[in-house]
Amino acid sequence: MSENEKEIKNPAETRPLGPPKSTVREYFESFVVTLIMAIFGMTFILQAVTVPTGSMQNTILIGDYLLVNKFIFAPSGNPVPFLPQRDVERGDIIVFKYPGNKVNPRNDSSRGIVPYQINYVKRVIGLPGETVEFRNNQVFINGQLLPERRIIGDAEDEESALTTREFEPPPSGEKYSAYYSESTMNNVLAGRRMSRSGYEFGVEGKPMQVPENHFFVMGDSRDNSEDSRYWGFVPRELIIGRAMFVYWSCDRAASNGNFFGCLTNPRLDRIGKMIK
């Protein structure tokens, strides 16, 4: 068979496949695919949040940047088969949309806080249907003492981590630590009743049952946390996800709150720390 006959019999072999992609086009297509995957991941799986207050110290510090798992909690508490999902559990550190202070809404407006728009980070203490009461710097669930490791912790200023010391041996079954100031623990030891202004939910003399599809949350820095004791319960639909780990952390005091200062004043020992 001659060469001319081959060309006639196999025209596809000689047909051009189109102009080659330029380097710029290849980079652009890779960027678009990466961007789409990032948007999908940040919408349905992961979310990054920062911690602006000290209500979770020393578990989470001011200036920690957290990665949040948005996929772990099954919708309405019904896990999808074969997927790594579960319902919200006691002890989970969750990120949620602040539901607002229904008892004293003026407290929010006076500080420029808009409900449902700001993210809060707290620990789940009470589950739906449980009765919660906080008294004498202890938490009682359905009348039973919740095993928490109480540690005395005080901060020199609002930005600093708590300086801590042991208060009591860890109770059996404890999974996390709660921090109390030395002054309130001294009041407890002296048998003095403490007045906590503004605390209306689940406090001494006001045990409350957690409504269905709601959760009672508290900060680990118990004397420096406006939480469910102050503004009520967290609806299930406002929960964004569970805090996983610290992907970046900076000394806010050293950086003076400046973005570039945060980059040049990292806390390397915090980066990669798992949140539990």
- All domains in the chain, ordered by first residue: 22-264 (2.10.109.10)
In this predicted structure, the answer to whether residue 147 has a pLDDT above a threshold of 90 is yes
In this predicted structure, the answer to whether residue 11 has a pLDDT above a threshold of 80 is no
pTM of the entire structure?
0.81
pLDDT of residue 31: 46
pLDDT of residue 45: 54
Q: If DSSP codes are grouped into helix, strand and coil, which group holds residue 150?
A: strand
Continuous H helices in 21-161: 23-44, 105-110
Average pLDDT over all residues of the chain: 83
User: Which stretch of 38-42, 45-49, 149-153, 240-244 has the lowest confidence by average pLDDT?
Assistant: 38-42
The strand pairing partners of 119, in sequence order, are 97
pLDDT of residue 38: 45
119/47: higher pLDDT? 119
- Which residues 6+ apart lie within 8 Å of 33 measured at CB? none
- Tell me the per-residue pLDDT of 224-264, one tens digit each, with 9 for 90 and over: 999 999 999 999 999 999 999 999 998 877 766 666 668 88
Mode of pairing for the β-strands spanning 119-126 and 177-180: unpaired
Tokens at residue 123, please?
């620990």
Residues catalogued as catalytic: 55, 122
User: Which stretch of 112-121, 188-197, 220-229, 233-242 has the lowest confidence by average pLDDT?
Assistant: 188-197
